[in-house]
Structure 1
Amino acid sequence: MRGDLELRADLKYGSIPRLVRAAVERHGPREAVIDGRIRLSYAELGARVERAAAACIASGVAAGDRVAVWAPNTADWIVSALGAVTAGAVLVPVNTRFKGAEAAYVLRRTRAKILFITGTFLGTSYVASLRRAAHEGEGRGPLPGLEHLQRVVVLSDDAPADFTTWKEFLAEGADVPADAVRARADALPPDAPSDILFTSGTTGHPKGAVITHAQTLRAYGVWSELAGLRASDRYLIINPFFHTFGYKAGIIACLLRGATMVPQSVFSVPAALARIAAERISVLPGPPTLHQQLLDHPARDRHDLSALRLVVTGAAVVPLELVERLRGELKVSTVLTAYGLSESSGIVTMCRRGDPPEAVAATSGRALPGTEVRVVGPDGRPAAPGTPGEVLVRGYHVMSGYFEDPAATARAVTPDGWLHTGDVGVLDADGNLRITDRIKDMFIVGGFNAYPAEIEQLLGRHPEIADVAVVGIPDPRLGEVGKAYAVRRPRSSLSADDLIAWSRREMANYKVPREVEFVAELPRNAAGKVLKGRLREGGSRPGAQPGGSRPGVQS
C-alpha cells in the first residue's frame, strides 16, 4: 500500500466540490453515471452539478444551510446532492424507507431549507406522505409543521402547485454566473461540515452525525486504495445513497477513482443479474444477503457475470461458504469485509487484499491507517486479545459531534477522542476485529440497522398498546428481524396481525416486527429496566397470552 500522505485525498482536494471539478478534468469523456437511458460522461456530470449548484444559490442557499434529499438511487440524486454541497450546503440524506412522520422529524430537526424529493416510489407518493405529516404540526403554508423548509423540489416533470419541478428549479439558476458557483465552492474549508447522517441511539430519537469534507475525502481515499477500486471499474451501487456506504463508498469513491456509477434504486435479483451482464459490472458491494441471493438464483447461469472482480461486504455475519462460493463459482478475485458506523464516517476496519478466506469471513479486518481500535472491559481498561468488550474507535474520521446535541455527543465521544460504538467485539493477536454483539440492542435486517428503542417508541403510539419491547431474532433470509413483546390495554382484542399491519403503515418496512407475542407484563429488574436477555431466551412464556403470536411475515 502506498504511503499515507499519498492517500490523503483531503490534502489533495480539500472539499467535495473540488473533488468533483478534479474528476471532470481527469476523466471528462469517461462514463460517470449510467441510469437507465441516462448516460453521463464526467464532463456532463460536472456541468449538471454546477447547474444544480447555481439553482441552489439562486434559491438563497448559503454556506452551512442544510439541504435534504429524500429519493432513491438515481442520477438525479447524485446531481442534486452534489449540487447542494457545491453551493456550500450541508447534505442531509433521508431514508427512503421512512414514512412521512419519520422524514418530517429529520427535516424539522435540521431546519432544512430545501428538500429534493422523489415523486412516486414503490407505489407511494412521497409528496403526499410528507404533506400529511407536516399538517400534524403547527404553522402556516403548504407544510405548516416545517416552517424552515422554504422549497420542495420534486425530482420529476410534475409537481403540485405549491412545489417546484426539477426542471423549473434548474432554470432558476440560469442567471447565476459560473464564477459565482466556483467562488462559493472554493470558499469551503476542509473542516466545514459536508453532511449530517442520521442514526438512532438507545433513546430512540434519531441523531445526526456531522461529518466534514476532509473526513469524507480522507476516509474514502483510503477505502478506495484498500479495495483496489480502478478507473476502469463499473460499480453497481445497490446500497442506498441515504446510507453512508452507498453515498461515500459509492459516489465519493467513484469520483476519487474515476469509476463508472450504475445506481440501482430497488434491489431485484433478476434486475441486478441483467445489469451486471449488460453493463459489465466489475464492483458489487452490499450485505451478505444480497450476494447470497445472487448466487442462489435459478437464472444466474443464464447471465454473463465474468466481469465481477470486487465484492465488499459486511453489516452482518459473513459465512465462510459465501466467501468461497464468490471466489469459486463467480471467480471474484477480491472479496473483502469491513466494519463501520455513521459516527465514524462509515468505516473503522477493513480486510486487506490477499487475506485468507477464513479471516475475511470471521473478522471485519484491521483498523484503517490513522485509526485506533480498542476493546475495553466494563472497567474501561483494554481487554486481552480474544476477550470480548466494547469497541472504541479514535481517529480523524470520528464525527465532530451530533448535530446541535452536545449532551449526546459527550456521551458518545470521550474528551480524548474515543468514540463509544456500543458494539461488542473481539480483537485477535493480529489486530483483526470480530463483532460479536451490540450493546445498544441494534439488530440488522437485510443490511439495514434497526434500533429497538425507536421501534418501541413507534409501537407505543398504538392506542391499544400499554407496554412493548423489541428484540432481534434470527431469520434465514434477512439475517435478523424484529420480534415485539407487547402488553395490550385492558379489554383490547388487538391481534398480532392487526399490530403488524398497523406497523407497516407507520414505519419503514425493515423496522416492522415480523413476530408479535402478547404478554401479561414485561420482565423488568429492580430499576424498572426491561430484561431483554430473558425475552431472547424465551422468558416471556409464563405471561404469554393466548393467540398472541404471528411468526414468519416476510418483507
Structure 2
Amino acid sequence: MRDAGMGSWPRRRARMTPDHVAFVHRGVSTTYGQVQERADRLAHGLRALGVERGDRVAYLGLNSVELVLTMFATAKLGAVTVPLNTRLAPPETAFVLQDSAPRVLVWDEGFEHVLGSDDVAGLGLQTVSVAGADGHRPFAELLADGSAEVLDEPVSLDDLFMIQYTSGTSGRPKGVMMTHANISWNVYNVLVDLDLTSTERSLVSAPLFHTAALNQLMFPTFLKGGTSYLESSWDAGRALELIETQGITWLFGVTTMLLSLLRHPQWATRDLSSLRIVQSGGAPLPEPLLRAYLDRGLMIIQGYGLTESSPGATMLRAHEGATRIGSAGTPCFFSDVRAVTPELQDAATGTPGEVLVQGPNVSPGYWHREDATAEAFLDEGWLRTGDLGTRDEDGYLRIVDRLKDMIISGGENIYPAEVEQAIYTHPAVAEVAVIGVPDPHWGEVGRAVVSLRPGETASEAELLAHLDGRLARYKIPKSVVIIDELPHNASGKLVKNRVKEQWGHHD
C-alpha cells in the first residue's frame, strides 16, 4: 500500500477479519469489511465535495459509527479531521471553525441550534447532515453515490491526521496537530501496557472528540480487531447493563464516570466478571474510589498524559496500582518523561519540577500558532506540560500541582483566563479571579471571586446567567463570591494564591 497512515487501517483490518464486528451502536453491528467499504465510499463522496489533501473536515456530533467513518475517510484522502467538542457554546464552536477553516462540516442531529446560530451560519460552510436535515447534503447520499473503488493515496506517517482543540490559557483555543505517527505510536504504547486481545469488547462512552476515548480506547481496540460499543453519552445504569449482558472487557472513564458506577443502586448486584481492564485518566483518583473497585476485584489502571502527547505519557500498571496509590506510574514504552527545574535541568529525586514528555507520540505543535508552539515544544522533541511533578528513586511520577491554573472538572479542562474573559463582559464587574474548589462529585469545580464597579450591583445568579450561552456549561463556575476588593501585591498584580487560600475551600 502507498497509504501508511490511519486511513489504511480499515483495509488492513478487513483483509484479516472482514466478518468480525468492529462497532455496535444503537443495537446495530458494523463489521470490519463494512467499515472498509463505507470509508472508501465516503472518501469518494468527500472528494466530490472538493476535499483534497491537507484540507480539513470538521465533525460535530456524539459518538457514532458515522464519526469514525468520517475520520477514516478523511484520512484516506490525506485530509485532516477536526472533531468538535459538542459541549462548546456556538461562539466557541465558530472560533474553532474559523481557525481550522474546514472544507466540509459534517454534523449529527441534536446540534441544529449550533448550525442555526448567527456565529456558525455566518461562516457559510459546506455542510453534510448525518440525519439528512433539510438544506444540507445527506450523509447517506454521500455513501450511496460514492464509488466502492479502493482508495490508496500516498499518505505518510508524518502527515497530519487530526487537529484536536484544547482551551488555551490565553482564552483562545489551540489546535493540537496530530500526525498519523503520533496516533500510531500512542496505540503501540497502549498495546504494550494493557496486553490487549482480538476479543476485546470495549465500552466507548466517553466522547471521541477527546483524545483519551479515541486514542487510548477505540483505536487500540480497532487495531486488535475487537469490538467497540459506541454509546452516545454516559449512563451508569446502561454501562452496568452492557458490562453484564455484552461481556464488556474494557472500560475507560474519568473520575465522575467511575464514581457514578459506584453510586448506582445496581453496582453491588450486576455481574462485572467480564471486565479485565478499567482505565482512567484526566485527574488523580481519590483513594476511597480505588479501594471500592478493589473490593469488587477491579484494579483501576491510571495514567498521565495530555492532548499534546496523544495522550499517553506514563502508566501505572495493574500489578502495582494497589501499592503505589497516587502515583501516575512510569513512562510508557515509547515515551520519556522528566521533571525539570526552571532552568530545564533535571530536578532532584522527590523535588517538584515541570514535567516534560518526549516521544514519537508528541505532537509537532499547534495549528497556526508558532508562538505557542515555540513556547511549549523544546529542542529534541521535549514537550513542556505546565504540570509540576516529582519522580521517586524508581522513576515513578507523581503529579503534585499545575504551573497553569487549569481546573479539571469531571475530566474536562477548564482554563480560568477564558472564563474570566467572559465574566469581564458583564458591565458591573471590576475584577475577577476564577479558581478551582474541591467537589465530591466532579473532583473540582470553578468558583469566581468577583469585585464590582463602584455603584454597581449584581447577584451571583445574575453573573452566572450572564455566562449562559457564552461558555460551555461545564466551564461556567458553580459559585460566585462577591467581595469588595481582590488582593494585590505591591506592583498592583492580582495575587491568585491568596484568592485560593481564602476562597478555595469546599463549602
2:356 equivalent among 385, 389, 392: 392
Q: Secondary structure at the match of 1:26?
A: coil
Give the deviation of 1:312 after TM superposition.
Answer: 1.1
Give the deviation of 1:508 after TM superposition.
Answer: 1.3
Query: Partner residue of 2:63?
Result: 73
Give the deviation of 1:356 after TM superposition.
Answer: 4.2
Give the deviation of 1:193 after TM superposition.
Answer: 0.5
Q: Is 2:80 the counterpart of 1:95?
A: no
Q: Is 2:329 the counterpart of 1:365?
A: yes
Give the deviation of 1:131 after TM superposition.
Answer: 2.9
Q: Secondary structure at the match of 1:304?
A: coil
Query: Partner residue of 1:438?
Result: 402
Aligned equivalents of 2:104 and 2:438: distance in 1? 40
Q: Secondary structure at the match of 2:102?
A: coil
Decide whether aligned partners of structure 1 residues 370 and 275 sit closer, same or farther in structure 2, where only a CA change above 3 A counts: closer
1:170 equivalent among 112, 135, 143: 143
2:250 equivalent among 274, 283, 286: 283
- Alpha-carbon displacement from aligned partner over 1:502-547 (angstroms, at most 9, x marks no partner): 3233211211100101123322334544211111111799xxxxxx
Give the deviation of 1:224 after TM superposition.
Answer: 2.3
Deviates more, 1:309-318 or 1:472-481: 309-318
- Alpha-carbon displacement from aligned partner over 1:446-487 (angstroms, at most 9, x marks no partner): 111111111112222233333221111100000000000123
1:242 equivalent among 209, 219, 222: 209
1:319 equivalent among 270, 277, 286: 286
Q: Is 2:390 the counterpart of 1:426?
A: yes
Give the deviation of 1:256 after TM superposition.
Answer: 1.2
Decide whether aligned partners of structure 1 residues 153 and 358 sit closer, same or farther in structure 2, where only a CA change above 3 A counts: same
Give the deviation of 1:99 after TM superposition.
Answer: 1.0
- Alpha-carbon displacement from aligned partner over 1:146-196 (angstroms, at most 9, x marks no partner): 25x3x2112213x132x22222333442xx4614xx133xx1111000011
Decide whether aligned partners of structure 1 residues 54 and 274 sit closer, same or farther in structure 2, where only a CA change above 3 A counts: same
Aligned equivalents of 1:172 and 1:108: distance in 2? 29
Decide whether aligned partners of structure 1 residues 46 and 382 sit closer, same or farther in structure 2, where only a CA change above 3 A counts: same
Which amino acid in structure 2 is aligned with residue 206 of structure 1? P
Structure 2, unaligned stretches of length 5 or more? none
Aligned equivalents of 2:25 and 2:260: distance in 1? 23
Q: Within 5 A, what are the aligned runs for 1:56-135?
A: 56-120=46-110, 126-134=111-119
Which amino acid in structure 1 is aligned with residue 33 of structure 2? A
Aligned equivalents of 1:21 and 1:522: distance in 2? 59
Aligned equivalents of 1:387 and 1:188: distance in 2? 44
Decide whether aligned partners of structure 1 residues 272 and 483 sit closer, same or farther in structure 2, where only a CA change above 3 A counts: same
Give the deviation of 1:49 after TM superposition.
Answer: 1.6
Aligned equivalents of 2:328 and 2:197: distance in 1? 22
Aligned equivalents of 1:485 and 1:325: distance in 2? 35
2:231 equivalent among 232, 257, 264: 264
Decide whether aligned partners of structure 1 residues 13 and 370 sit closer, same or farther in structure 2, where only a CA change above 3 A counts: farther
Query: Partner residue of 1:4?
Result: none
Give the deviation of 1:335 after TM superposition.
Answer: 3.0
Query: Partner residue of 1:193?
Result: 160
Aligned equivalents of 2:479 and 2:108: distance in 1? 31
Which amino acid in structure 2 is aligned with residue 407 of structure 1? D
Which amino acid in structure 1 is aligned with residue 46 of structure 2? C
Which amino acid in structure 2 is aligned with residue 252 of structure 1? F
Q: TM-score, normalised by structure 1?
A: 0.87
- Alpha-carbon displacement from aligned partner over 1:350-380 (angstroms, at most 9, x marks no partner): 1234224132x31111112232211112333
| Contact 2:166–2:307 (CA under 8 A) maintained in structure 1 | yes
2:152 equivalent among 183, 193, 198: 183
Q: Is 2:299 the counterpart of 1:340?
A: no
Q: Is 2:158 the counterpart of 1:160?
A: no
Give the deviation of 1:102 after TM superposition.
Answer: 0.7
Structure 1, unaligned stretches of length 5 or more? 1-10, 121-125, 136-142, 542-550
Aligned equivalents of 2:442 and 2:109: distance in 1? 28
Q: Secondary structure at the match of 1:354?
A: helix
Aligned equivalents of 1:28 and 1:323: distance in 2? 39
Q: Secondary structure at the match of 1:470?
A: strand
Backbone CA RMSD of aligned residues: 2.2
Q: Secondary structure at the match of 1:538?
A: helix
Aligned equivalents of 1:212 and 1:191: distance in 2? 6
Which amino acid in structure 2 is aligned with residue 321 of structure 1? P
| Contact 1:13–1:19 (CA under 8 A) maintained in structure 2 | no
Q: TM-score, normalised by structure 2?
A: 0.95
Give the deviation of 1:27 after TM superposition.
Answer: 2.0
Q: Give percent identity, aligned residues only.
A: 35
Query: Partner residue of 1:5?
Result: none
Aligned equivalents of 1:12 and 1:113: distance in 2? 24
Aligned equivalents of 1:431 and 1:468: distance in 2? 40
| Contact 1:14–1:214 (CA under 8 A) maintained in structure 2 | no
Query: Partner residue of 2:197?
Result: 230
Aligned equivalents of 1:14 and 1:430: distance in 2? 37
| Contact 2:17–2:32 (CA under 8 A) maintained in structure 1 | yes
| Contact 1:519–1:540 (CA under 8 A) maintained in structure 2 | no
